[in-house]
Amino acid sequence: MRQTILAAMLLMLPAAANAQFRINNRENSPLRKLQFAEVAINNLYVDSVDEQKLVEDAIRGMLDKLDPHSAYLTPKEVKDANEPLNGNFEGIGVQFNMMDDTLMVIQPVTKGPSEKVGIIAGDRIVSVNDTAIAGVSMSKEEIMKRLRGPKGTKVRLGVVRSGIKDRLLFTVVRDKIPVHSIDAAYMIRPGIGYIRIGNFGAQTYQEFVESLAKLNEQGARDLILDLQENGGGYLKAAVDIADEFLQQGDLIVYTEGRTTQRSEYRAHANGMFTDGKVVVLVDSYTASAAEIVTGAIQDQDRGFVVGRRTFGKGLVQRPLDLPDGSMIRLTVAHYYTPSGRCIQKPYTKGGGKDYAMDMVNRLKSGELTNADSIHFADSLKFETLREHRTVYGGGGIMPDYYVPLDTTVYTRFHRELAAKSIVIQQNLRYVDNHRKELKKRWTSFDDYKQNYEVPQSLIDDLLAEGKKQKIEPRSEAELEKTLPYLRLQLKALIARDLWDMSEYFSVFNERSEIVKKALEVIQQ
């Protein structure tokens, strides 16, 4: 019986994978043992089993015992994971938010399919192909599924517009919609440009070059490169961007593993920005490809790093495509900075929960709030390649200038208001009700940034909504501590809705201690 079962089994692996390694099919191999267990369960177990799920659970079980970043992805998870990095998706082209169970358009994508037919900011999309999507408790994911579709297909949208009595109907032809990874690019001070990169995708390098060229035209001699909360992405995008700051031949990063030989990535030619001062902003959520750029600039003494120790994700995953469209992302090597520092922070195999608690542990240890709480062993000391400054290994990139996390900014009251989406919702209502007068009064963003003050009526409405949902400050002192940051957040959100993300960050950055320190470093 056993021999019959085993003889009937086939192991399916992609041709590309088979070309790279040989499968051991000897009688007593661990692989045979795994095959026997799967077939035995599927054929003999007392209840019916889902064979697909059985195999997926087995794969996940094996990967869970390895490192925190080796993973199995279903076909849908592969598509969802790749979409933000591929640089585009196919749909109607609007930025939106949900307000009172209704989709409100924040901005139509410039020259996108919705803008072409006349959909404008403030419109509420209430139906898709005659199916109501407003007031029916439909999930955001389900709404997006209905709005997206193959390029060239048509979708009929029902729209409610302020000041228009009747419902408007638009037929939108779906198209490719760009997904931008440059969150902001503007002149933060005379002679100083600012670029914030949200992730490293397929189009990031091209976006970066275009943004840098515009800043150069505006007189940018120095640059702040903001990689805070950047979780990484494509290695090639990170290498190409680092290349623009370095001299020909400079080492950017290298990889090495147990069965993977050392592979080096070097600058190919003198880049677009090799002379001016550079400051890179990082925090605890700066990871992977973002750490590669940061480590290269720091180790090559091309610029300084400001903020807090980065995440420490320095494991190289090789994608192994499976026949059904699913994928195994298997760690095959480590990333190392030019000075030889391993970016990956320590972990215990199979210790995923401890790894996930790292940020909490950093806060408890005082690392995020007090530089004196951070200690490095002598064995973790490295030197930069040109000026021989001391830098540190042990996981993540330690900044040259440490800026503590200001835990007093986010009060309990503010956190609860934000968690219930009260801040976002009240901002949407305010802009929706005052869009025309706001655009008429504030034709210049510089004028807005300098002189606009959030009205007390908006604060009062927000507090009243919080009270209705039983979210109130515990004391007058907590309220007073909450209001300055709350006003700043609202001003930035209004700027985003009237202009775009560059204006949003332009407002926020004026109060950011990390940005202030970066300006100080550049101007010293």
299 is a catalytic site residue: yes
33 is a catalytic site residue: no
- Exactly one of 299, 358, 400, 497 is catalytic; which is it? 299
Angle at 145 between CA 141 and CA 150, to 5 degrees: 150
CA distance 452 to 449: 6
List, in order, residues 6 or more apart from 181 with CB less than 8 Å away. Answer: 84, 87, 197, 198, 199, 200, 201, 203, 204, 207, 233
- Exactly one of 114, 288, 326, 339 is catalytic; which is it? 288
Partners of 329 in the β-ladder = 71, 319
- Exactly one of 313, 481, 491, 517 is catalytic; which is it? 313
Q: Which two tokens stand for residue 191?
A: 């002679």
Alpha helices in 131-243 (DSSP H): 140-147, 204-217, 235-243
- Kindly list the distances between the CA atom of residue 169 and the CA atoms of 115, 119, 132, in Å, as whole numbers in the listed order: 14, 10, 13
Residue 176 has φ and ψ, to the nearest 5°, of: -70, 130
Q: What is the DSSP letter of 345?
A: P
CA distance 78 to 325: 8
**Block residue for tokens 């029902």:** 158
List, in order, residues 6 or more apart from 268 with CB less than 8 Å away. Answer: 243, 248
- Kindly list the distances between the CA atom of residue 260 and the CA atoms of 110, 316, 332, 349, in Å, as whole numbers in the listed order: 45, 10, 7, 20
Tell me the Cα Rg of the chain: 26
Instruction: Name the nearest CA neighbour of 237 among 304, 293, 277.
Output: 293
- Catalytic residue list: 288, 299, 313
